[in-house]
Structure 1
Amino acid sequence: MRLLSTILVALRALRRNALRSILTALGIIIGVGAVIAMVSIGNGAKSQVEASIASLGQNIVSVFPGTSTSGGMRGGWGSASSLTVDDVMAIRDEIAGVVSVSPEIRDRTQILANGLNWNSQISGVDTNILDIRMWTIAEGAMFSDGDVRSGAKVCVIGNTVAQQLFAETDPIGQTLRLRNVPFKVVGVLGAKGFNYFGQDQDDVVFIPYSAHLRHIARRQFINSILIQAVSPEQMPRIQQDVTDLLQQRRSGREPDFTVRNQLELAEAATATTKTMTVLLGAIAGVSLIVGGIGIMNIMLVSVTERTREIGIRLAVGAHGRDVLLQFLTEAIILSLMGGTLGILLGVGSSQLISKLNNWPVLVSTPAVVGAFVFSAVIGIFFGFYPARKAAALDPIEALRYE
């Protein structure tokens, strides 16, 4: 009953100065709202990065030519031509736990078809690329293993290429020319959109890697090897086995390749978004501290203004702890009120930002609960000193105060 009575007295005191109470809570409202909005934007970016990386395929181990250093000199992925189709076959035949493997040869070139032209990426791949990269076929079919073995001049085009070159016609059965070499369209890939790196995944033409080496690239080296592991747990082991195998095939020469797994890419990307989320949340959290200081200042002013009221309460039998509890309750109520309104502001602003800018947001329950609890802690921490000051007043001196 005493606690309920204290809460009611605190509410009446706050109601008497409603405008001051609202302005005092404004710092907490803005602080909590900013924390929730910033964390929601950060979480949304993190989820988008994870989804984009997942769209590249699952359980992928990739091999690139070149290393970060060679002979003491910095090089980088793709800085050498060293991978061949024979390396692909060796990985397929000798590494346990490999579900699928495909070479990848990439070139950008002008495509001519239907009286139109379009610059796109031409990727020479195996039929396994559909499973490795999680592609679907929207129209027609994927070229066959027989097409790969024979180097057939057939292709499967991405959705962007289909829209640019065959917007008003059925692309299946049509012919397009790649570096003046005719290729028959046998399928259209399902749309994927942009990936984490900002690349349009649908702006692509798949052709058999054998046809690419023979007619487009006219070389023996490939750009990369894509390997799908049986499970995420097997990826580190497969990564090491592939490294050992390729090094063995090079007779102990200095490594001229780099092997990376998808977990490393995901960890690096999500680490960046996590850092961004923490920084944004910390910056927004500063406004919560400022709001707490505002509560302390106003409560100190309130103690000064209500000195005679405190003196009367102490004179008629109230204990110091009763006065302390009342002022502390007022500070906590202000903080919780600000926290509640701040949650509404944060969630609402997150949704508004998402709609206006087409940014992904993900409101996190832990962030909401954490911000609300932190606002209560702010009220207790910054309200304690004014409350203790009020409780320590001498009744006689308080009654003399004008």
Structure 2
Amino acid sequence: MPHSAVSHSPGSSDGSLEEPVSAGVHRQRTDSGAGLGDPTMLTPSRTKRLKMYARKVAEENDVPEQGLFDFVDTGGIYYMLIDLKVCMMKIDSTRKTTILADIKELLNSKDFKSGLQNRLTACLLSPNLTAYVTDTLPNISSFIKENNSIFKVPLSLFEDVQLSGIFVTVVSDLLCSIRSNMKSKLLASIRKRMSIMDTAKSLAHGCIEVDAAHWNRLAFLRRCLRIFMIGISDHKMLSLKALYSPSLISSLHSAVRARIGPKLGIDIDSIEREMYGDEVDHDGVPDGLPVTNEDREMHNTGAAGVADNGDSAETDGIDENSGGSGDVDQDYDPEDNEGVDTTALNGRPLHPDDSGFGDNGKPIIFSAGKFWNFVDISLENVRKIAKEEAATDQGGRTGYETAFRQIQVEYFQQDLAEFPGNMVIPKLLATNTPQWQTTIQNTLLWNED
């Protein structure tokens, strides 16, 4: 027991609160009568008995007796209670300081960041993820707080404003790193002509159990990346021929088609008419975003247009750095900040005549560092299509979720036709998906109507 936190002498008077209410001459009381008027004050005899007991307890518990003596010498029960409260406050403050120091050390540890990165990778690979940058950081941060056991984050971390800020910064940096890694591996998968199943294994890296839903979503992401790289005219890693295929035509803006057609030596509009006939339908969606081609025949890459899909830009022989934004690839720079840069959009959606890639003298919306923003807009566009299809189904057989899943499956089928790999689709064995992964995939959702 520490020394008394309150300096007090029972019989002292400071001339104010300690003065007795009555005035006049006070008669000296005997020991037996002292304190009878105030049961909260200790008489000398009670003090002596308490000190004897304190000495006994100190010996039994192997603690210094002087601290207990000082506590008894406060002289009154209320003073002793205040003393206890002060000691408890000091202990609590010390405990909090120790806990916060431990959490701060935890945030800087490699093991913690590695484990957190695995869980965040599972978040960004979730086939049901709402968006990749738009409102992603605040929603994932809230999700971590609500499911702190999944991410092995102590709940006490969120009780301190400073540590919460540090943690959000760590999460933001890790998300940026994971997105950059995903984009790099998707680019490599295009260059190596990997199947989406093998690509999924590479991206999952043992962090999660992969199933067909992951293949569908990753096929969508790879399609978005090909359209995006064509749009920004970035061909340092992949030539235009390696990126283009007739299956992308319906998702390429007319201005982008006009730009790349002469470089490829083809008439894209003629190819589209041959593929789809006179009823060319882009589902009423502005060009430049991935759309479905329901009730249309699937086409292999070599079915029409460019036959040579060379892997590297060096083998192309075409000046592909003209047109579009031509921005330097920013994979390893901080990119794709939260939300789309709407300076040029001014809060409005893209005009149908605007590709977003700086064609026809229009402002550049999707620069090299805005791939994941492009994905978010494309994903929202797919949701819009699925909702429209569900609304027009008078029989009610196709709900929104079914329509959305069918669109994703079609992307997978198109991707498999163009990137067959070994042409052997692995059999999905019945596996027990970890509960934490199921929780992430089923509940990490936002802005769902």
Q: With structure 1 as the length reference, what TM-score do the two structures score? A: 0.23
RCO higher in 1 or 2 (8 Å CA, sep ≥ 6)? Answer: 1
Larger Rg: 2
* Structure with greater strand percent: 1
